[in-house]
Amino acid sequence: MPKIARGRRVGQAAVNALRTLLEEHDHIVQEISGQNDFGEDFYVTFTDNGDVTSDTIKVQVKGGDSWRRGNGYAVPVDRHGDTWADGNIPVYCVVYDPATPALYWANATQQLRRLGPLNPPKYIGVSPNAVLDDITMGSFVAQARQYVGRYRGRQAVLTHLGEMSGAEFDPGDHVLHFVNGDDEDLIFWKAPGATVATLLLSAQSWDPVWVSLESLVRSALPAPEEGDDLGLPDSDLWTAEELGLSRTETMWVAACFMSTLQADEGPEDDLIRPAECEGCPNCTEEHGRIEANVIHEYVLARILDRLGSEPDLLQRSILAMREDTDLEPEIVAELGSLETEPRVVRQVNKLSHATVAAVDDIEPEAYRLAVMYLIRCIYVGSPSLPLDEQVRIDWRVPEPEASTSQGRST
């Protein structure tokens, strides 16, 4: 007699579990006919205190233990990449693991747009941190509704530029876009009131560089004589010549500075600037005064030192992160794509002074995952401080008391 495949039963259990959970929280679920495999199983329209909103997502549901990969889960993109990335409605993937049992989610559209069409992933990564249940439903809905809202009005432009460059813009930031004659993109990014701006250039792989209005023309000015003070910025700010900007591009950046300065002008009280940063993670000007490679090398060295003296640190940190219900949705989304790559996970699990020395560095993805596992936040303070005081690390597992006191005394 014919038998029903176990995979079909588990798949249906996944669909039922998700539908039940969403409907118990009064959200509207419309199932898409299983006869047509377009890569989505549900339309979900969210409600707010019983009122139907205009925020809708599509969901692809998978069930079973066959979707486990690396430290998480993976949903194959197959032929759905274009529709998931470029559709008008964002697509989420949800995995049901009967061994847990639990539901886990990932924003497929966000992952695909972040990696771009030139480097399309084969799988959508789903992190074990992205649990979807009664407790996390509120934060999931808030994240999903916020993401849907990013495709309306000016925020839609910021979203497109952010996904193109990998940056995360604040709605109040000044963000301007320019395309040169070679179809290369330039993005001008500056916090309100700041004198230093970030430039993101597609020709330089979107690596951020910092400029001021004065630094743009620094190389064009005559060398100052001894004792002269031209009021020029510190040498860690880039010039137009160093960036290889054409005259047109330089004029555009200068125009961006002038236009944003006019936008920032207002009553005298509005021109008062905050005091010097003492560890605030939002101080744009101070953050621009330390080279990215310096932070990379310092943080990596601290990580390797702790892993060398505490062999179980990684496991304890991962456990602490799994129990952290307040992880930002952006972190959860990035975890999904990193944790499902076995090569990256292996590098992190074997991380030590010896393995890093053998290859002369660590791959960016493995470094990023190690930082996310081990560190809550990195604060950068005043550039006048020594490096070990300028860069402050908030570890997921605090340092042992002996190590901490020793660090203060050195």
DSSP string, 351-365: -SHHHHHHHTS--HH
pLDDT score, position 409: 43
pLDDT score, position 348: 94
Name the pairing type of β-strands 91-97 and 51-63.
Answer: parallel
Q: Predicted confidence band at 92 (pLDDT cuts at 50, 70, 90)?
A: very high
For the segment 254-303, what is each residue's pLDDT rounded down to a tens digit?
999 988 876 665 433 332 233 344 444 444 444 444 566 778 889 999 99
- The answer for residues whose C-beta is within 8 angstroms of residue 90's C-beta and 6 or more apart is 57, 58, 107, 108, 109, 110, 144, 147, 148, 151
3-state DSSP helix/strand/coil % of the chain, to nearest 5: 45, 20, 35
- Could you tell me the sign of the dihedral formed by the alpha carbons of 21, 23, 28, 33, in that order? positive
Q: Give the dihedral of Cα atoms 91, 95, 101, 103; nearest 10 deg.
A: -10
CATH class of 6-149: alpha beta
Q: Indicate left, alpha or beta for 26 from its phi (over 0: left) and psi (-120 to 50: alpha).
A: left
DSSP for 37-100 reads -SS--EEEEEEETTEEEEEEEEEEEEESGGGEETTEEEEE-GGGHHHHHHSSS-EEEEEEETTT
Q: Which of 78-82, 94-98, 275-279, 343-347 has the lowest mean pLDDT?
A: 275-279
Token pair for 386? 């020594």
* Rounded Cα–Cα distance for residues 62 and 7 (Å): 10
- C-alpha of 23 from chain center: 31
Report the 10 Å Cβ neighbour count for 376.
Answer: 17
Strands of the sheet containing 68-69, edge to edge, are: 68-69, 72-76, 123-126
Q: Predicted confidence band at 380 (pLDDT cuts at 50, 70, 90)?
A: confident
* Rounded Cα–Cα distance for residues 171 and 44 (Å): 26
Q: Is 215 exposed, middle or buried (0-12, 13-18, 19+ CB in 10 A)?
A: buried
pLDDT score, position 208: 92
Half-sphere exposure at residue 2, Cβ-oriented, CA atoms within 13 angstroms: 1
* Rounded Cα–Cα distance for residues 330 and 368 (Å): 13
Q: Predicted confidence band at 372 (pLDDT cuts at 50, 70, 90)?
A: very high
> Closest Cα to residue 76, out of 111, 122, 40, 117?
122
| Count of helices and strands (H, E) across the chain | 16, 15
Q: Which of 47-51, 77-81, 305-309 has the lowest mean pLDDT?
A: 77-81
> What pTM was estimated for this model as a whole?
0.64
- C-alpha of 334 from chain center: 6
* Angle subtended at Cα 86 by Cα 83 and Cα 90, rounded to the nearest 5 degrees: 85
- Phi and psi at residue 337, to the nearest 5°: -75, -25
- pLDDT higher at 104 or 154: 104
Give start-end residues of each CATH 3.40.1350.10 domain in the chain: 6-149
* Rounded Cα–Cα distance for residues 333 and 127 (Å): 8
* Rounded Cα–Cα distance for residues 165 and 356 (Å): 28
Average pLDDT for 392-403: 86
Q: Predicted confidence band at 106 (pLDDT cuts at 50, 70, 90)?
A: very high
Average pLDDT, the chain: 81
Name the pairing type of β-strands 102-107 and 51-63.
Answer: unpaired
Report the 10 Å Cβ neighbour count for 255.
Answer: 13
Average pLDDT for 231-240: 65
- The answer for residues whose C-beta is within 8 angstroms of residue 159's C-beta and 6 or more apart is 150, 151
For the segment 1-26, what is each residue's pLDDT rounded down to a tens digit?
545 455 567 778 889 999 999 999 99
| Residue in the block written with tokens 């700010």 | 237
Instruction: List 76's β-bridge partners, or say none.
Output: 123
pLDDT at 188 over 70: yes
Q: Predicted confidence band at 190 (pLDDT cuts at 50, 70, 90)?
A: very high
